[in-house]
């Protein structure tokens, strides 16, 4: 006679990945491990569970995401390592912290705790800036609030003839920027000059006043109290994300700094919050030194960055 088991107390049926892990030493289908990872991440509310599962697997295996189909079977330790990464991602540790890198345009940057993770939206700002440099030889470029050095290194990789300067006031961020500059230079890229300074200091880069062709900036711009994803709230540095009640505390200083640095005819591009589609262009238009003020949308149709040109001296 078999013992009665209360269905409510019966153990849950094992997942495909758990079932496979019992077969010690037996290679297992990577496809099933990725499906299980997707299920866990989806249940945790991760925005892109399938993509994150595949990117974590590709990171572990040292292959491009598009080449995963060429790895049909993996050893049990690989499945266990993937499960560990998935647990951490389900706890909303940023994907880029787990893989140790983030891409922006032509460069891949080392990132981790203590530095803002570059976002894909910022590539539009970089593309605009590079297009603005067309026809200029050996341009001078400044990246304000550089963080990981993403924009500065994106320019240096695309325009090795450029003289690129990058400014930040956070020693932690500058440590990551230094690491990224050193890695890119070791790979053959053009150097970037890193400067410790605050955009609110009228003396920062004073030797370049009126001599810069392009100023780029992705500053802190989120209004305090704005709900943000757990990855941002718990892992991005607060000071790299939030900037006062209206989110414009740093932007105001950046606008003044750019006006001082740019030569007549030089151009400026600054990323902003999607609630700033009117306020940031208004800040630029309020300064007589700027003309051709335009606001630009991201790929989702949201206001994302504003641009302007330094008025000619005769203007």
295 known ligand binder: no
CB within 8 Å of 258: residues ≥ 6 apart: 144, 215, 217, 268, 270
How far is it between the farthest Cα atoms of the chain? 101
> Nearest Cα to 56, choosing from 76, 80, 21, 75?
80
Q: Please, which residues bridge with residue 270 across strands? A: 217, 306
Query: β-strands 101-104, 107-110: how paired?
Result: antiparallel
**Using CA atoms, how far apart are residues 115 and 236, in angstroms rounded to an integer?**
6
218 known ligand binder: yes
> What are the CA-CA distances from residue 160 to residues 104, 134, 223, 261 (Å)?
17, 13, 36, 21
52 known ligand binder: no
Please answer whether residues 116 and 122 qualify as being in contact, where contact means their C-beta atoms are separated by less than 8 angstroms: no
Q: How far is CA 150 from the centre of its chain?
A: 8
**HSE-up (13 A, CA, CB side) for residue 56:** 33
> Nearest Cα to 275, choosing from 214, 216, 227?
227
What is the H or E stretch that residue 82 is in? helix 76-90
Binding-site residues from annotation for substrate: 218-221
Binding-site residues from annotation for S-adenosyl-L-methionine: 168, 218
Binding-site residues from annotation: 168, 218-221
């Amino acid at each position: 006679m078999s013992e009665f088991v209360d269905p409510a107390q019966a153990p849950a049926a094992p997942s495909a990945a758990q079932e496979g892990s019992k077969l010690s030493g037996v290679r297992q289908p990577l496809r099933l491990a990725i499906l299980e990872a997707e299920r866990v991440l989806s249940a945790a509310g991760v925005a892109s569970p399938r993509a994150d599962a595949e990117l974590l697997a590709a990171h572990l295996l040292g292959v491009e995401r598009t080449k995963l189909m060429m790895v049909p079977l993996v050893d049990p330790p690989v499945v266990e390592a993937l499960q560990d990464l998935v647990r951490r991602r389900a706890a909303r540790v940023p994907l880029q912290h787990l893989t140790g890198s983030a891409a922006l345009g032509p460069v891949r940057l080392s990132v981790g705790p203590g530095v803002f993770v570059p976002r894909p939206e910022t590539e539009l700002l970089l593309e605009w800036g590079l297009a603005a440099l067309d026809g200029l030889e050996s341009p001078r470029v400044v990246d304000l609030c550089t963080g990981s050095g993403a924009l500065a290194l994106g320019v240096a990789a695309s325009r090795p003839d450029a003289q690129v300067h990058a400014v930040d006031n956070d020693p932690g961020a500058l440590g990551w920027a230094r690491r990224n500059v050193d890695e890119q230079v070791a790979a053959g890229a053009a150097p970037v000059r890193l400067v410790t300074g605050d955009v609110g200091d009228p003396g920062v880069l004073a030797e370049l006043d009126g001599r810069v062709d392009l100023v780029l900036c992705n500053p802190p711009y989120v209004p305090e109290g704005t709900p943000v994803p757990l990855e941002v709230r718990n892992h991005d540095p607060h000071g790299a994300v939030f900037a006062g009640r209206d989110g414009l505390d740093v932007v105001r200083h950046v606008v003044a700094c750019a006006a001082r640095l740019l030569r007549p005819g030089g151009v400026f591009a600054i990323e902003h919050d999607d609630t700033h589609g009117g306020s940031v262009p208004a800040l630029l238009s309020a300064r007589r030194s700027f003309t051709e003020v335009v606001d630009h949308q991201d790929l989702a149709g949201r206001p994302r960055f504003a641009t302007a040109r330094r008025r000619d001296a005769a203007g």
